[in-house]
Amino acid sequence: MTKKIMLSAVQPSNRLTIGNYVGAVMNWTKMQKDYDCIFFAVDMHVITNSRGSEDLKRQTYETIATYLACGLDPEAATLFVQSHVKEHAELSWILTCHATMGEVSRMTQFKDKSSKHGEMIPMGLFAYPVLMAADILLYQTNLVPVGADQKQHVELTRDLAMRMNNHYTPGWNKEGATTKPLFALPDPWIPKEGGKILSLQDPTKKMSKSDADPKATLFLNDTDKEIEKKVKSAVTDSGSEIKASDEKPGILNLLTLQSVLTGRTIAEVEAAYVGKQYGHLKVDTAGICVDTIRPVREKTAQLMGDLTYLDQVLKRGAERARERAARTLKAVSAKIGFIPTT
């Protein structure tokens, strides 16, 4: 039986965070055996919000090294860098011509990010979700495991796929249809717990790679000391009861981290702290984060010492990805009426 296709990606806009791990990469590793997997680093997405630089190059290698360090299998999964597969840009343009300003303007991430640019909003920032749709649709993806913040983008992708299927392959969804749709319809997969890990300094907002306050974010290559310091100084409320409640987002965030990193339910973790203080919760959570991050940090550092190996992985991944992407793009181009290249 052919496996369903699972695809996801991270922006190499900075070091990866424990939020990226819990919301995304950890789940990819858990599900990788059951799916035909495609994972990549979306360097073209990064330049929608910042100028390219040597940092981008290092961070892109580091993202791939982190994927491997977290346990993704480069033999089984297709691992590559977005800019190595030109079909992403090409399909993105075609989708841009089928998306509407209205639907793209509704993306909350665009609203958040564009507000930081004043009058000078880069066009790429607006088009960002359409490039993401191209990433997904090029590979006939069935499942997209992401954190909660990406759900809206996957839904837009699905709407675009449906629209194009209806237009170019009418009847594709009728009972007993023999017409093959242009695109598979992707479903988002969001973890029940950990889909939104919060900032350690402001638990009303998401933990982010680009937070100006370094104490707000646990990075996957922080030292043991840094992790301990950050978790122990995590902002909580002024109470003393350890309770999983939306009114205690700082506490809930630490309980959630413990739960997803140890495989226990939040209720089980909560039960272990009856009669204990915030300090106990912080010390234990810090220890669990150290135990999770240390092997990832060490393995990533080791892989970053061997760029030749990483280049080999990326070359093979891009070859595999190109072959698949070209197939979809060829079918789309034919429907649109582009003369095939000979």
Q: Annotated catalytic sites, by residue?
A: 113, 206, 209
Handedness of CA 115, 117, 118, 119 (dihedral sign): negative
Q: Is 23 in the site for ligand TYM (CB under 6 A)?
A: yes
- Whichever of 211 and 338 has its CB closer to ligand TYM, that residue is 211
To the nearest whole angstrom, how small is the minimum distance from the Cβ of residue 151 to ligand TYM?
A: 8
Following DSSP, what letter does each residue of 50-111 receive, concatenated? S---HHHHHHHHHHHHHHHHTT--TTTSEEEEGGG-THHHHHHHHHHTTS-HHHHHT-HHHH
Q: Is 24 in the site for ligand TYM (CB under 6 A)?
A: yes
Q: Determine the interface stretch with ligand TYM among 14-22, 28-36, 238-246, 275-283 (rule: CB under 6 A).
A: 14-22
Q: Determine the interface stretch with ligand TYM among 2-10, 100-108, 278-286, 315-323 (rule: CB under 6 A).
A: 2-10
DSSP-assigned beta bridge partners for residue 6:
37, 143
Q: Determine the interface stretch with ligand TYM among 3-11, 90-98, 255-263, 318-326 (rule: CB under 6 A).
A: 3-11
CA atoms within a 13 Å half-sphere pointing along the CA-CB vector of 23: 22
Q: Is 310 in the site for ligand TYM (CB under 6 A)?
A: no
Size of the site for ligand TYM (CB under 6 A): 26
Q: Is 296 in the site for ligand TYM (CB under 6 A)?
A: no
Subset of 119-148 contacting ligand TYM (CB under 6 A): 132, 135-136, 144, 146-147
Using alpha carbons, select from 139, 16, 133, 19 the residue that is nearest to residue 78. Answer: 139
To the nearest whole angstrom, how small is the minimum distance from the Cβ of residue 20 to ligand TYM?
A: 4
* Helix or strand holding residue 37 (H, E): strand 36-41
| x/- track of binding to ligand TYM for residues 183-212 (CB under 6 A) | ------------xxx--------xx-----
Task: Determine the distance from the C-alpha atom of residue 279 to the mean position of all C-alpha atoms in its chain, rounded to a whole number.
Answer: 32
Mapping DSSP onto H, E and C, the string for 124-136 reads HHHHHHHHHHHHH
| x/- track of binding to ligand TYM for residues 147-166 (CB under 6 A) | x-xx--x-------------
Residue with the closest Cβ to ligand TYM? 23
Q: Is 63 in the site for ligand TYM (CB under 6 A)?
A: no
* Helix or strand holding residue 309 (H, E): helix 307-336
Question: Cα-Cα-Cα-Cα dihedral of 12, 33, 253, 293, to 10°?
Answer: -60
DSSP-assigned beta bridge partners for residue 41:
10, 81
- Whichever of 62 and 135 has its CB closer to ligand TYM, that residue is 135
Give the footprint of ligand TYM on this chain (CB under 6 A): 7-11, 19-20, 22-24, 42, 45, 132, 135-136, 144, 146-147, 149-150, 153, 195-197, 206-207
